[in-house]
Amino acid sequence: MKVLKFGGTSVGSAAHMRRVADILVREGAGVVVLSAMSGTTDALQRIASFASAGGCDREVALLLAGLKRKYMRCVEELLVGRREEASRAVECALARVASQAASYAGEVSQRVIIAQGELLTTALFTLYLRERGCRAELLHAPAFVHGGEEARVDAVRLRSLAEVVADGGYAVTQGFICSGPDGMIDNLGRGGSDYSAALIGAALGADEVQIWTDIDGMHNNDPRYVEGTFPIRRMHFDEAAELAYFGAKILHPSTIQPCRERGIPVLLKNSMAPDAPGTLISGEEVGGPRYRAVAAKDGITVVRICSARMLMAYGFLRRVFEIFERYRTPIDMIATSEVAVSLTVDSDCRLTEIAAELALLGTVEVETGNSIVCLVGELEHARQGRAREVMEAAGDVPLKMISYGASRRSIALLTDTRYRTRLLRNLNEKLFAGYAE
Ligand code: ASP
Ligand code: MG
């Protein structure tokens, strides 16, 4: 059994939805996980923000009218016999948004509002599949995907879903949305539909999870900053996980984990060019060129703690880490010397409190505006000259931190964001020239 997830641009218009249905017919039966049509979640998020600010009825009404136009147009272009049923679904979802916005009750309302995008795409797409004569069942994801500290899927409830597929049909469900610990509708965070697909795939023991977007798989470098990047045919779970975490936009960073645990391959494909091979991510060693890819993540803050108390002391790092843990702020890179420790975080929201507590341990410096550039490939320390090769390729870019030796597949470099593009280009030029597949 396959799980196929289509992102917002892949279902962004009636024409695109048609193309998705063509792909499904080619791929055969499967579980289909959909995002909201592109732009929808942003619009819904803005409605929720206006509603929470109060007194922004005009802005909310304008955004709602925009959504209505977009969805009604999609209904008209997509459906014939089931057009009325589809229009009712649109009216109903938008009425729910309007009423939650009008009597806004904090986070609960916000969650209901931003859930409507996925609910709508899946409703319309299921009707379309049926109109095309396919057997399609619409499943409500919050009934079996549970969010919270650690997201999980109720595999027993999913069984009915598997039955539809076994019968040669399509089980269509929403990405992103789930039920929260309070039993109310919730979500897995922005971009979370990939993660939904992976969780569902893992719970079903799927043969493959396919993530369909609008680019030809994972590229060896960031096409926004570097010219001449190329898609990578195959990569290992560990490489993909590091790249997704450190900035590759194609995949939500949590996606790989559930599939890696169950050994389920993840295939990244382009719905605009379905014949392109895409990228296959699996637990198999890939071989080939020694460097696989580079990604960059901006918005990184460095925190430096310098303390004479660290000298020959034990338990110092534990005290530092405990402070970050208390404020639920994950740490990415770490470098230590005898009297100082530097670490990086990608969220500044609790940093004032964290810095105040760290100040009790030593002198604290906080520096924003950095980027992590992560290179993955065969970076085993036993291989002579790898570190030198990477450092030489980095060239004249000033590096603030280097993390090498923790993983045999990656090296992470920290630089001021103004040097990020230069670093990506230098690495591309020196380490990837002539490798295009
Ligand atoms: N629609 C959600 C978002 O825009 C989830 C997703 O697309 O993955 O964040
Ligand atoms: Mg996405």
189 lines ligand 1 (CB under 6 A): no
Cα–Cα distance for residue pair 121/68, rounded to 1 Å: 13
253 lines ligand 1 (CB under 6 A): no
**Can you tell me which atom of ligand 1 is nearest the CA of 252?**
8
Q: For residue 437, what pLDDT band results from cuts at 50, 70 and 90?
A: low
176 lines ligand 1 (CB under 6 A): yes
pLDDT, tens digit, 9 for 90 and up, residues 216-264: 999 999 999 999 999 999 999 999 999 999 888 889 989 999 999 999 9
DSSP readout, 75-109?
HHHH-STTHHHHHHHHHHHHHHHHHHHHT--THHH
C-alpha angle 42-218-414 in degrees, rounded to nearest 5:
80
117 lines ligand 1 (CB under 6 A): yes
Does pTM surpass 0.85? yes
**Can you tell me which atom of ligand 1 is nearest the CA of 194?**
8
Q: For residue 355, what pLDDT band results from cuts at 50, 70 and 90?
A: very high
Q: Do residues 2 and 30 make contact, with C-beta atoms less than 8 angstroms apart?
A: yes
The predicted pLDDT at position 406 comes to 86
Both tokens of 328, joined, read 């639920």
The predicted pLDDT at position 436 comes to 59
- Averaged confidence pLDDT in the chain: 93
Nearest CA to ligand 1 atom 5: 191
Residues 6 or more apart in contact with residue 6 via CB below 8 angstroms: 20, 32, 33, 34, 35, 212, 271
Q: For residue 4, what pLDDT band results from cuts at 50, 70 and 90?
A: very high
175 lines ligand 1 (CB under 6 A): yes
12 lines ligand 1 (CB under 6 A): no
**Can you tell me which atom of ligand 1 is nearest the CA of 7?**
7
Stretch among 239-248, 377-386, 394-403 having the lowest mean pLDDT: 377-386
pLDDT: is 338 or 3 the higher one? 3
Both tokens of 372, joined, read 């992590």
Residue position matching structure tokens 């994950």: 330
The predicted pLDDT at position 145 comes to 97
Looking at the predicted structure, is the pLDDT value of residue 421 above 90? yes
Q: Do residues 342 and 304 make contact, with C-beta atoms less than 8 angstroms apart?
A: yes
Looking at the predicted structure, is the pLDDT value of residue 64 above 80? yes
